Amino acid sequence: MPTSVPMPELGESVTEGTVTQWLKQVGDTVETDEPLLEVATDKVDTEIPSPTSGVLTRILVSEDETVEVGAEIAVIGGEDEAAGGEESASPAKDAQPEPEPQPEPQTAGAPTSAPEEQAAPAASAPEPEPTPAPSAETSTDREETAPPVDVGTVSGANQADGTDAVTETYVTPLVRKLAAEENVDLSTVRGTGVGGRIRKQDVQEAARKQRERSTAPAAAPASPAASTPAQQRPATAADTSMRGRTEQMSKLRQSIAEQMADSLRISAEITQVVEVDVTNIARLLERAGDQFEAREGAELGFFPFFALATVEALKTHPKLNAVIDSSSYEVTYHSVEHLGISVDTEGGLLIPVVKDAGDLNLGGVARKVSDLTQRAHTGALNPEELSGGTFTLTDTGSVGGLLETPIITQPQVGILSTGAVVKRPVVVDDPELGEVIAVRSMVYLSLTHDHRLIDSADAGRFLQAVRERLEEGAFDADLGLA
């Protein structure tokens, strides 16, 4: 019995998806959960698995076509339906009869085929149905799938030296267009999609690296004073290509704009800031950072400590880990801590979620944060990893910011921003000397909360819990120092 394949749910607030790549063709056999196609949304690109085993008999949505969630995009039949499926492969074939053999339109200077040559295909042995050449009658028909494109042919590579370093690879029209706009040679791009397919994120990353190389200053001798803090990402070269240009905002940028504006309309947002002395954590990083990375397989900076302290504080201050139903003013306090972490990607801000963060130790948090961050930059996150957060942590310090007033991610009621860790003179109490001035590692924590549920005193108590945990610096057991 035929099985309909719908455009699946693709995350919170996502109502439509764009088919970017069919990984199977009409007539191909597919297995349950085998990747069937790639879909792009305003948040993420993802592979859609087949809901059943059988033969792909119909493709109803062309590549680069956008449809709503729930719309039928393909049909999968049983193994015995393969032959029938080939006859009704797509709306384009159903919509018009098979074209009769006729001479191809001639272009200026093209040789004219002899009549017997034109009739030869009809008299040949049975072959798969040929695809008619594009013409005025067929050019507007919906494409069933993108034909395989030799990347070497597209880019002009491999023609002079005869090498076969680049093999026949599917490249969507969207990717080809983006590569042309960014002046990226597809033969030099390493694909991260299924079977090494080149995705738009691969082209964007290649374009970013090209811009960095073209604007990078001449190399200068390195010096200890010029080293970059472990938690602060070096600033990239300025991109001036947008000067004087007018363009449509990307879907991701539009989504961010709508969500941020909606958040300010929905919540009564107020921000409270505290200053935290993280000198003890800085010393732990100096003592055990390399050892931790070798053992856990993840680089250790300040952020995992911030994340762990935040999750622990959420357990004892459930008001910050809640959701408000604005229509009924009903409050639900979550029993789990799903921590959203903001990641600045080439396309815009993404917030992958560390699920069940309350069950993780420092090593588990560091590994999960590292994994989600890396895959956010390569476009390898799935929709489930971008939804379901109960509280968000954003790292303003990664770009050198001291503090900010972050906007709540709806429907959450709080978001915590961590600033850059900087060394500066601070007045501290010495047990023997009393008040003295010492150089300490300091950071600002900014908590934006929904005043409809959380009063300033509630926010203050939450921040005090986070600050006490960080200033105590009792993470020796997590670092293998106990």
Alpha helices in 11-143 (DSSP H): 82-87, 91-95, 115-123
Interior/surface letters 144-160, b for 16+ CB within 10 angstroms, e for the rest: bbbeebbbbebbebbee
Phi then psi for residue 422, to 5 deg, are -130, 150
Q: Tell me which of 28, 377, 451, 458 is the catalytic residue.
A: 451
C-alpha pair distances (Å), 267 with each of 262, 263, 272, 310, 340: 9, 6, 15, 21, 18
Each residue of 251-262: b (16+ CB within 10 Å) or e? bbeebbeebeee
Which residue in 455, 458, 476, 478 is the catalytic one?
455
Strand 391-395 vs strand 414-418: parallel, antiparallel, or unpaired?
A: parallel
DSSP secondary structure, 305-354, as one string: HHHHHHHHHHHH-GGGSEEEETTTTEEEE-SS--EEE-EE-SS-EE--EE
The reply to whether 290 belongs to the active site is: no
Q: Do residues 402 and 444 lie in contact, with contact meaning Cβ atoms separated by under 8 Å?
A: yes
Rounded CA-CA distance 306/293 in Å is 17
Based on the residue annotation, tell me whether 451 is a catalytic residue of this protein.
yes
The residues that are catalytic are 451, 455
